[in-house]
Amino acid sequence: MDFIGGNDGVETWQEVMLVYTAAMRQVETKLEILNEEFQHIHQYNPIEHIKTRIKTPESIVQKLRRHGLDSTIENMVNHVNDIAGVRIICSFTSDIYRIVDMIEHQQDLKIIGVKDYITFPKASGYKSYHMIVTVPVYLSDRMVDTKVEIQIRTVAMDFWASLEHKLHYKLEGEAPEHIRQELVECARMVSDLDEKMRTLNDEILALSEEHKLP
């Protein structure tokens, strides 16, 4: 898959892969360090695990075409925000905003976009917290500010989103109405489960603190 070069710091697909992969790794490493520090201070890991991926050339071209744009490096860098993706999976909804707060305090990450689908879920029932950040990637002769999409969601949200994604592509986006409604209902169940687990966790933490008292 060939892209036409541009004047925005990267010229070839190979260099795009290098820069975006480097940015993705930097964000992943930063999150792992923050998780380890949180464990050291609070004896608790807010992050269960981290998934990463680089968007395929075919997927990038499809996205550009949907926006009526040519397949150029310039359009790719300027208009596709999720070439590099980092997904953070945590146990509780309260962890999501705890992680957001940690990311917001990183001086070398610039937040350029936020979509809070936790507070404002999509009509389909989809819930996740999305952030677009830029991270500086230092090459031998220059620095390239590179965009990375960060998604933060609970284990239950991730399970629902993975299932919905599979069904969407199997049915080519044309799911019957009753299946759409069932997925919305499942999303409500996932939300209820997350809230119950968060409440139980808070109660357990309170009880454990009581047991520590002399």
Q: Which residues are catalytic, by number?
A: 149
Task: Indicate the helix (H) or strand (E) that contains 111.
Answer: strand 110-116
Strands 129-138 and 110-116: antiparallel
The residue among 187, 200, 178 whose CA lies nearest residue 158 is 187
The DSSP result for 16-40, as a single string, is HHHHHHHHHHHHHHHHHHHHHHHHH
- Token match 């949200």: residue? 157
Residues 6+ apart with CB under 8 A from 197: 91, 92, 156
Terminal CA-to-CA distance of the chain, rounded, Å? 67
CB 122 within 8 A of CB 168: no
The rounded distance, in Å, linking the Cα atoms of 15 and 44 is 38
User: How many other β-carbons are positioned within 10 Å of the β-carbon of residue 87?
Assistant: 17
